[in-house]
Amino acid sequence: MALASSSRKVVDCVVSQARRSIARSGCRCRVVSSTHVPPSQYTAAVMAAFSSSARHEGPAVSSPPQSLLKPMDVPKKLLMGPGPSNCPPRVLAAGALPMIGHLHPEFLKIMDEVKEGIQYAFQTKNEWTFAISGTGHAAMEASVANILEPGDVALVCQNGIWGQRLADMVDRNGSTAAVIQCPMGEVFSLEQIEKGLQEHKPAMVFITYGESSGGTAQPLEGLGELCHKYNALLLVDSVAILGGYPLYMDAWDIDILYAGSQKVLCSPPGTSPISFSQRARDKIASRKTRVRSFYFDAKELANYWGCDEHPRRYHHTAQVSTVFALREGLARLAEETLEKSWKDHRECAELLYEGLEKLGLEPWVKNKDIRNPCVTAIRIPEGVDWKSVVDYAMQNYKIEIAGGLGDLGGKVWRIGILGYNCTPENVKLTLKVFGEGLANARK
């Protein structure tokens, strides 16, 4: 009897556990028997309970979307716009590796490798160097949110849409954007920026190193020093140029530098390398108000990325697969070396300029010395329907060529030569298709 009652207890317990999981699965559980059920019959009883309650009782459920019952359609394209660029097979393969936990030792080691890769790409020894979870805009938001407090002024150098967007973010942060402008396709002089520093006494200066809307490469030498003379930090956007043109974060006294994964680093969009100098960290440490964004709080992120002496805490779940892919994009750059990558981008850009000239076209940026080799804006000649050239390339060759942004909308095409796509073959093919599209547009 004692045995029988204790075995009933076991069965009841097992059945009640089953009832709980049945309930959680959204079905209703009908109790088949409250008396002793021998273990051999137990399974059958549970199965009976399952099958008789599998019918859903509740509000009508809409039918599953038919579109999801078919495979998705992702054609192969050659992405010769300003980003994203094509990912090399090794990068795509890295993104398909098994999932692991965001705090597992293997993942933490990969984060360390990513950090070293970014330090190399940025040419910095900054301890606070990591990747923001999000695309380039996330790094822009993070820079603004961490450095500026309400009431702080940022001097924003605007020669394209990136200055416009950053000024918008400064404003949304409750800080003040003092904007200085020059036309798209032109760059700022130190004198112009010094005047802005004197007039607005900003806490930070923002400038775009590689403009992807105007096609310029802004000279940066001496700018960090100038900003520091006026007690301002220097924030630089290098999304559309990092890895394709010389950049030395430490030697050029840049305080906050960010980039993106999907341009020269030829990784999927979704991670943005960022680094903070000691000066930038001091400014953050002396804040009187808390950083408005929890997600972008650099101090928290630095801890998660192992940049301080404390044990790593869970801040958010890193986008594991995208970090794997970024790691491979950075590994590719490390194997290739920065010098080689800079040289390749310059040579491919030269090839593009020559080819354009033969087609009777010219880059929007007249002065060769200030052209961003990674993104070239091309002046649309009078009487040419720019869109038809873009459509021709896509429809006939699945090649992406982009139109203009901001003030240059309808005035330029843009061609990106980014990372894995930076080969003479790709440039020649793009020129050939461009020539055909142009002839077609003029017919």
Footprint of ligand PLP (CB under 6 A): 82-83, 135-137, 162, 208, 210, 212, 237, 239-240, 260, 269
**4 φ/ψ angles, rounded to the nearest 5 degrees:** -60, -45
314: helix, coil or strand? coil
Q: Which residues contact 116 (CB under 8 A, 6 or more apart)?
A: none
Q: Residues near 380 by Cβ (< 8 Å), separated by ≥ 6?
A: 386, 404, 410, 411, 412, 413
3-state secondary structure of 435: helix
CB 85 within 8 A of CB 268: no
Nearer to ligand PLP, 169 or 298 (CB): 169
Closer CB to ligand PLP, residue 37 or residue 155? 155
Instruction: Report in angstroms how near the CB of residue 209 gets to ligand PLP at its nearest.
Output: 8
Residue 211 beta carbon to ligand PLP: minimum distance, rounded to whole angstroms: 6
Residue 373 structure tokens = 């080799």
When the beta carbons of 137 and 346 are compared against ligand PLP, the nearer one is 137
**Cβ atoms 355, 415 nearer than 8 A:** no
Output 94 or 405, the one with its CB closest to ligand PLP. 405
For residue 179, how many other CB atoms are within 10 A of its CB? 17
| Min CB(37)–ligand PLP separation in Å | 60
Cis peptide before 84 (omega within 30 of 0): yes
Q: Tokens for 234? A: 């220097």
Instruction: Kindly tell me which of 135 and 275 has the beta carbon lying closer to ligand PLP.
Output: 135
Q: Is 233 helix (H, G, I), strand (E, B) or coil?
A: strand
Q: In terms of CB distance, is 136 or 273 closer to ligand PLP?
A: 136
- Minimum Å gap between C-beta 440 and ligand PLP is 29
* Phi and psi at residue 411, to the nearest 5°: -105, -25
CB 239, min distance to ligand PLP, A: 4
CB of 389 to ligand PLP, least distance (A): 21
Closer Cβ to ligand PLP, 15 or 401, answer by number: 401
Comparing every residue's Cβ against ligand PLP, the nearest one is 136
